[in-house]
Amino acid sequence: MTTLAAFFVRDFRVAWSYKFSFLFQNASLVFSLLTLRFVADLFGESNVDAIAQYGGDYFSFALVGVGISVLAYPVTKSFAGAVRGAQVTGTFEAMLTTRTPGASIVVGSAAYGIAAVLVQLILIWVIGTLFFGANLRLEQLPVVALILAMTLSALTGIGLMSAAFVVAFKQSEPLSTAFVAASLLISGVMYPTSVLPAWLEALAPLLPLTHAAEVTRLLFITGAESQQVGYHLAALAGFCLLLPLGILALNRAIDYARRTGSLSQY
């Protein structure tokens, strides 16, 4: 069994041991979708100009954005949380004494949580389309899967940098939290970036979630062709470079902690 699979099975068994919590967490998606449906109904047939290019359906527009935003916090915080938890319980140093690369241990520790979030994201889109009237082209899911993989790579890079900070300094860093807050504010998750003040709208392309939400909407709602989404795909490809940078930062942090003898400290 690979390291990733071993961590995944371990964390799944822990989660499944709390069956009520496990099932209720996924069932609560329905209540979230109902809330979003009711908010969308406030717009009625007003056909808001800002979302006209997305078919004028606010529920479909917001459903895509909410799905993308679901990834932001868990992915950017899971790695640091896993490291901090292992430090406090005294297992982090023990795991790093094995021949398994440190980065593999950290990634594996967060694998189940990220997989669970991906399942929730797919459920949000599928249930929203089949039962709540969203106009999403689910046949585009294979293409959207590529977008999600690129988005996940960028967010994982940020999460690994956050974990590197925890390894080196034994405390959480505030930048990933600021990143998530900024993404929810200016990435066009619940509203188009065109409604933002000009100076905030200019900052939106600097965040990977902006491009992920936009290209997913173009594919899911309007059925855009590849040449129409090329800019956003190129931007996401650039953000994917955060992944190797995150791995590098984490390995450097582990080496630093080993040299200073601080792996067992928390």
Q: Please state, rounded to an integer, the average pLDDT across all residues of the chain.
A: 85
- Tell me how far apart the alpha carbons of residues 164 and 249 are, in angstroms, rounded to a whole number: 6
Whole-structure pTM value? 0.89
pLDDT tens-digit map of 204-221: 999 999 999 999 998 888
Half-sphere exposure (Cβ direction) of 107: Cα atoms closer than 13 Å: 21
**Please, which pLDDT band fits residue 139 given cuts at 50, 70 and 90?**
confident
- Tell me how far apart the alpha carbons of residues 37 and 42 are, in angstroms, rounded to a whole number: 9
pLDDT tens-digit map of 64-73: 999 999 999 8
- Tell me how far apart the alpha carbons of residues 235 and 207 are, in angstroms, rounded to a whole number: 9
Burial string for 173-187 (b: 16+ CB within 10 Å, else e) reads beebeebbebbbebb
**Please, which pLDDT band fits residue 125 given cuts at 50, 70 and 90?**
very high
| Residues 116 and 15 sit within 8 Å (Cβ to Cβ) | yes
- Tell me how far apart the alpha carbons of residues 195 and 36 are, in angstroms, rounded to a whole number: 20
**Please, which pLDDT band fits residue 46 given cuts at 50, 70 and 90?**
low
In degrees and rounded to multiples of 5, residue 6 shows phi and psi of -65, -45
What are 138's two structure tokens? 């689910």
| DSSP class of 100 | S
SS3 content of the chain, % helix, strand, coil (to 5): 80, 0, 20
Residue 236: burial class (beta carbons within 10 Å; 0-12, 13-18, 19+): buried
pLDDT tens-digit map of 141-181: 888 999 999 999 999 999 999 999 998 888 877 888 899 99
